[in-house]
Each structure stands twice: as structure tokens, then as C-alpha cells.
Structure 1
């Protein structure tokens, strides 16, 4: 299974959160989705939202952006 990556590096809050919510709507249990994000505030908002909605969240920082991977439980 290939990993789906959505590039949100050109988006700012709250648009990045809104687009991430839309993209995650149809996830089935055990499916993952990765977002590329540049703003820490967006990462924090997305992490809080997905944690409250039965998703496992993993955040990794690179020099240019964050990888935020969610997995539906």
C-alpha cells in the first residue's frame, strides 16, 4: 500500500486544518495519511484535532517543514 502525502506547505491556518479535515474524512481504520506543513501553529492545531478524533498522530520535523502523519484507530 502506498503512503498518501498531501502538501499543505503553501497553506496557512486555518485553511491547512480545514483541508486536512476534508482529506481525512474517508479514512478507514488502520489507514494513514501524511501532511506536509510549514507552520508550527498549523501542526499544533492539526495534532489537537486529530488526537480528539480517534487518530494516532506522529509529527516529524525537517529543516523546511513538518511531516504530520495520522492513522485512524
Structure 2
């Protein structure tokens, strides 16, 4: 996450470039191929797949979240 509140991630090795994902980010979590961003307005968006997968809005009024895969 940047100091400007933009969630950024990279795919591949450590030398891959950073890819901006969502602005207004307060917290970011990655679990496997699932990425979640909690925004400063309390909304939570999650996507699964590659960096360019579609975001799915999950909930509003969120203060914390956990994307850990549980089997």
C-alpha cells in the first residue's frame, strides 16, 4: 500500500513491477490468489484470480477482515 492509500501488488518474481489495484485503501490482505482491500470508508472489496480479475464488493461498515483460506 502506498502512502497515498493505493493498494498495489505484484505478480511473479521480486523484480516484477507493482500494479495499482484500488485507491482509498486502509488495509490489504492477500491469501493464495485472493486479494482483499478494506477502504477508508469501511467498504470491503475482494477479487480472486490474476491481478486483472474483477473486484466484488463484499460489505460496508467493515473495521477488520481475514481472508485466510480455511479447508
User: Larger radius of gyration, structure 1 or 2?
Assistant: 2
Structure with the higher fraction of residues in helix conformation = 1
Greater length-normalized contact order (CA 8 Å, ≥ 6 residues apart): 1
Structure with the higher fraction of residues in strand conformation = 2
* Fold similarity call, TM over 0.5: no
TM-score by length of 2: 0.31
